[in-house]
Amino acid sequence: MARRPLPQPPVRLVGGRLGLWWQLFFRFGPPRWTLYMRHNWAGKRLVIAVPYVWLLLFFLIPFIIVFKISFSEVRLAMPPYAPLWEWVSERAVDVRLNFGNYLFLLTDDLYVSAYLYSLKVAAISTLFCLLIAYPMAYGIARSSPATRNLYLMLIILPFWTSFLLRVYAWIGLLQNNGVINKVLMAIGIIDEPITMMQTDFAVFIGIVYSYLPFMILPLYSNLEKHDFTLLEAAADLGASPIKSFLRITLPLSVPGIVAGSLLVFIPAVGEYVIPSLLGSTDQLMIGRVLSDEFFANRDWPVASAVAIAMLLLLMVPIMIFQRYQARELAGAK
C-alpha cells in the first residue's frame, strides 16, 4: 500500500527520556548472546552424556561382569567361581574360557522347558493384557478431559500399594477357602472349592493384573492422539463403525500395541515373584531357576549363563521392535 510520505524526525543520539545509553542499546540491539550460546555451549553435550554414562555404569559394566562369570568354573570359595585368567609366571597368562555352562543349559531338560514355559506364560499374559487394556485405553481416550484424569489416576492408584502385598492379596482371593470360592459356594454355584492356587491360571491372573497399567498407558497415549475426524471421514465414505475401527483406529494404534506388549512381555518372561507365590512348583519359570541357581545352588557361572541366555532370548523381540520403529520413522519423514 502506498502511504503518505511522513516527515522523518532527525536522528538524535543525545536526549530522550531514557538517555544516551538506552538509545544506543535499542538502536543497535542487545548483544547476540543467544546465538553465541547456541553455537558455543558445551553443556549440550554434557546433558546428552548423562544418560550414556548412567547406562555405562549401571548396565554395561554389570553386564560385562555377569558375562565374564558365565565363562568361569564353579568352585567352593569366595567368590564362588574361578577367575578367567591367572598369571602363571611373570610373562604368561593362563586364560581358561569355560563354555560348559552354556552346553549344560542345553543338555539339562530343566532349563529349556523353563525357557519355553516362561515364553508361553509371557505371551499368553501379554495377549490377555492387550485384550483387556485396549477397550479400557480406548474408553479413557474418548472420555471427557475431566473424567479422563480421574480414570488415569485410578489406573495408577494400585502402584501406591506394595507390589508384594497386592500379589499376596490374590492368594487370599484365589485359595481354596479364599473369598472367591466362599462366595461361589454361598451362592450355590459350586459345591466343592475350585483349585485355583498353584495353577497356570493363577499365574496368568497375577501377571495380567500386575502389568495391565503398562499396557494401558502406552495404548492410551497413542489413542488419545488420534484425530477423530478420520473416523468421521471413514463413516462418510460408507464404513460402518466396526469397519472404521479395523481399518483406521487399529492400524494407527499399532505403535502403541507394540510398545505396550513389549513393556508387558519382557518383564513377564523374567517374572519371579508372581509364579513363586501363585504358581505350581512342578513347572518353574526362568526367573525362579535363575534365583535358585544363584542362592540355593550357589552356582554363579551357570546362573550367569542362564541370565545371558535369557537376555539373548529377549533381544529378539526388542530388535523386532527397533526395526519396526525405524521403519515407522523412515515412513514418517
Partner 1 sequence: MAERRNDNKNEPWRDPSAQAYVEIQNVTKRFGDFVAVNNVSLKIYQHEIFCLLGGSGCGKTTLLRMLAGFEAPTSGRILIDGKDMAETPPYERPTNMMFQSYALFPHMSVAKNVSFGLEQEKLPKAEIAQRVDEILDIVKMREYAQRKPHQLSGGQRQRVALARALAKRPKLLLLDEPLGALDKKLREQTQFELINIQERLGVTFVVVTHDQEEAMTLASRIGVMNRGEIVQVGTPSEIYEFPSTRFVADFIGSVNMFEGRLIEDLPDRVRISSPELGGVVYVDHGISAAPGANVWAAIRPEKITLSRAAPADASENCARGIVKEIAYMGDLSIYLVKIESGKMVRITMPNVERLAEHERILWDEQVYLSWHSSSPVVLTQ
Q: Which residues of this chain interact with partner 1, rule CB under 8 A?
A: 1-2, 4, 227, 229-230, 232-240, 243, 247-248, 251-252, 331-332
> Grid coordinates 500500500 are at which residue?
1
**H or E, element range at 93:** strand 93-95
Cβ proximity to partner 1, 179 vs 326, nearer residue: 326
Min dist. Cβ of residue 5 to partner 1 (A): 9
The conformation of residue 177, written as its DSSP 8-state character, comes to: T
Q: Indicate the residue among 110 and 230 with the shorter CB distance to partner 1.
A: 230
Q: What is the smallest separation between the CB atom of 4 and partner 1, expressed in angstroms?
A: 5
Of the pair 157, 250, the CB lying nearest partner 1 is at: 250
Q: Which is nearer to partner 1, 18 or 230 (CB)?
A: 230
Angle, helix 200-223 to helix 254-269, in steps of 10 degrees: 150
CB of 322 to partner 1, least distance (A): 20
State which residue, 252 or 273, has the beta carbon closest to partner 1. 252
Least distance in Å: CB of 226 to partner 1? 10
Secondary structure tally for the chain: helices H, strands E: 17, 2
Q: Which is nearer to partner 1, 136 or 235 (CB)?
A: 235
Measured from the CB atom, the residue of 1 and 186 that comes closer to partner 1 is 1
In the complex, least distance from residue 154 CB atom to partner 1, rounded to whole angstroms: 28
Q: CB of residue 235 vs partner 1: minimum separation in angstroms?
A: 4
Compute the distance between CA of residue 185 and CA of residue 179 in angstroms, rounded to an integer.
10
Report, in Å, the least distance between residue 232 CB and partner 1.
6
Of the two residues 212 and 248, which places its CB atom closer to partner 1 in the complex? 248
CA nearest neighbour of 331 among 244, 226, 245, 254: 254
Could you give the CA distance from residue 220 to residue 211 in angstroms, rounded to a whole number? 15
Reported for 63-67, long-range contacts at CB under 8 A and 24+ positions apart, including other chains, are 63/311, 66/304, 66/307, 66/308, 67/304, 67/308
Side-chain half-sphere of 7: how many Cα atoms within 13 Å?
2
User: Hey, is 6 helix, strand or coil?
Assistant: coil
H-only helix segments in 143-162: 145-156
Rounded (10°) CA dihedral 247, 323, 307, 217: -40
Minimum CB distance to partner 1, residue 61 (Å): 42
Q: Which is nearer to partner 1, 205 or 248 (CB)?
A: 248
User: Quick one: cell of 41?
Assistant: 555451549
Question: Shortest Cβ distance from residue 231 to partner 1 (Å)?
Answer: 9
Dihedral sign computed on CA atoms, order 203, 205, 211, 215 = positive
- The partner residues of 311 in beta bridges, in order of sequence, read none
